[in-house]
Amino acid sequence: MNLRERFDVPVPAIVLAEGEFGTTGGKTANGVVTHSEVFDAKAIVDSETAGRQPSEVLGTPDAPDVPIADSVAAALEAAPEVEALVIGVAPAGGQLPDPWVEEIEAAIEAGCDVVSGLHVFLSEDEHWTALADEYDVSLVDVRKPPGGDELRVGDGSVDDVDADLVLTLGTDCAVGKRTATFELYRAAVEAGLDAGWVATGQTGIMVGAHEGVVVDRVPADFVAGVVEDMVKAVAADHDLVFVEGQACLTHRAYSSVTLGVLHGTWPDAVVIADEPSREKRTHFERFDVDGVEKERSLIEDLSEATVAGLSTWGDPEAQEETHGLPAANVYHEGGAAELLGIVRDSLDEAPTASAGDGTDGEA
């Protein structure tokens, strides 16, 4: 899915983040507000933080200075020019909360397209499709997986691309893989490189990846093939492709999707995202985080990639000394450019490859 092709970007939008703006549960809304190249956030809906500034809630000075309202109606009053409602929270249990029904209806009745990250698909519900038809708006469910005719197993055809491929993996869930991927892409563009990126989660799709799928909705046998097709599509138009990973290879709950992404990308270089203070897995307190060294070993055993370095939440110098890998913190000023330099050094040091094996050294 490429939302750049569906809309005349950037689209002025309201971001629905009810009860979760600035929290881990609102990471999609947070990402859309701060990073999206598709949606230009003009207002945010969250009754918990209404009246505050986004920069204060998110803890970043780069957040746009737009109102946080307590309802869609109030957001529409503050930003009548909006053309879309982005649902940036997927509540536990996967259902549409009853209080949100009127909020979404208000947006549709005001002529807004709805871009949803919910587990339930609005575009398959008669109530929502009838209302969308009545007000001539679109319903876009970013979690909807590819159709059966788009599914295939991986066949290694990604080896034939001429672009350099860089995959961001991690030591756990929610360690900043999507942020690191986007920041690498943005730093590359700012450096004048011909870069594109691939998302494997809903936030990345909404932020504006050149191709994306919510990979955890893809049947297991087809993950590598779906990722391979996305990488090939972006590599056809760009010299350098960054791919967002999911979970990690040492995670007993999610390792299968991680391996599918690794094998579908078959990267030249991998960046490991790590929160050094984390000891237990997010939402899985019985599982310890296995750490950088084990993750690195598995990546290099299960692929032909080189682990280029770390995207760390901690002090880069300390983490470099601990793990023996170059490190940068993309949340620090200049950190993304430093991480890009680490990646480019790794690509430059890779053996010269013949055309068709996926490394042309142009990055």
Mean pLDDT over 22-33 rounds to 90
pLDDT at position 62 is 84
CA separation, residue 269 to residues 40, 204, 223, 296 (Å): 32, 20, 20, 11
| pLDDT above 50 (res 359) | no
d(CA 310, CA 189): 20
Q: What is the pLDDT of residues 163-184, one digit of tens each?
A: 999 999 999 998 999 999 999 9
| pLDDT above 60 (res 363) | no
Q: What is the pLDDT of residues 65-92, one digit of tens each?
A: 999 999 999 999 999 999 999 999 988 6
State the sign of the Cα–Cα–Cα–Cα dihedral 131, 120, 29, 265: negative
Tokens matching residue 175 = 């360690």
| pLDDT above 60 (res 357) | no
Helix, strand and coil in the chain, % to nearest 5 = 40, 20, 40
Mean pLDDT over 181-196 rounds to 97
Q: In terms of pLDDT, which residue wins out, 140 or 362?
A: 140
Mean pLDDT over 114-128 rounds to 94
Q: What is the pLDDT of residues 290-327, one digit of tens each?
A: 999 999 999 999 999 999 999 999 999 999 999 999 99
pLDDT at position 351 is 63
| pLDDT above 50 (res 345) | yes
Mean pLDDT over 94-99 rounds to 86
Nearest to 87 by CA among 70, 109, 73, 107: 107
Which distant-in-sequence residues (6+ apart) come within 8 Å of 119 by Cβ?
90, 94, 95, 143
Chain position carrying tokens 């391996």: 259
Give the percent of the chain with pLDDT over 70.
Answer: 96
Q: What is the DSSP string of 86-153?
A: EE----TTSPPPHHHHHHHHHHHHTT-EEEE--SS-GGG-HHHHHHHHHHT--EEETTPPPPGGG---
| pLDDT above 80 (res 361) | no
Q: Decide: 246 and 215 in contact? Cβ < 8 Å.
A: yes
Q: Decide: 209 and 225 in contact? Cβ < 8 Å.
A: no
- Please, what are the domains in the chain? 3-141 (3.40.50.720), 150-349 (3.40.50.300)
- Give the three-class secondary structure for 158: helix
| pLDDT above 80 (res 342) | yes
| pLDDT above 80 (res 353) | no
Q: What is the pLDDT of residues 245-284, one digit of tens each?
A: 999 999 999 999 999 999 999 999 999 999 999 999 988 9
pLDDT at position 283 is 87
Mean pLDDT over 205-229 rounds to 96
| pLDDT above 50 (res 362) | no
The amino acid at 359:
T
Mean pLDDT of the chain: 93
**Three-class SS string for 163-197?**
CEEEEEEECCCCCCHHHHHHHHHHHHHHCCCCEEE
- pLDDT band, very low/low/confident/very high, at 93 (cuts 50, 70, 90): low
**Three-class SS string for 228-278?**
HHHHHHHHCCCCEEEEECCCCCCCCCCHHHHHHHHHHHCCCEEEEEECCCC
pLDDT at position 66 is 96
Nearest to 183 by CA among 52, 313, 353: 313
| pLDDT above 70 (res 1) | yes
d(CA 240, CA 360): 10
Q: What is the pLDDT of residues 106-119, one digit of tens each?
A: 999 999 999 998 88
**Per the confidence metrics, is the pTM higher than 0.85?**
yes
CA separation, residue 124 to residues 3, 146, 231 (Å): 19, 15, 29
d(CA 172, CA 316): 18
Contacts 24+ apart (CB under 8 A), 50-58: 50/74, 54/21, 57/21, 57/22, 58/21, 58/22, 58/30, 58/33, 58/34
Peptide bond into 276 cis (omega under 30): no
d(CA 261, CA 177): 13
Q: Decide: 242 and 32 in contact? Cβ < 8 Å.
A: no
d(CA 86, CA 215): 20
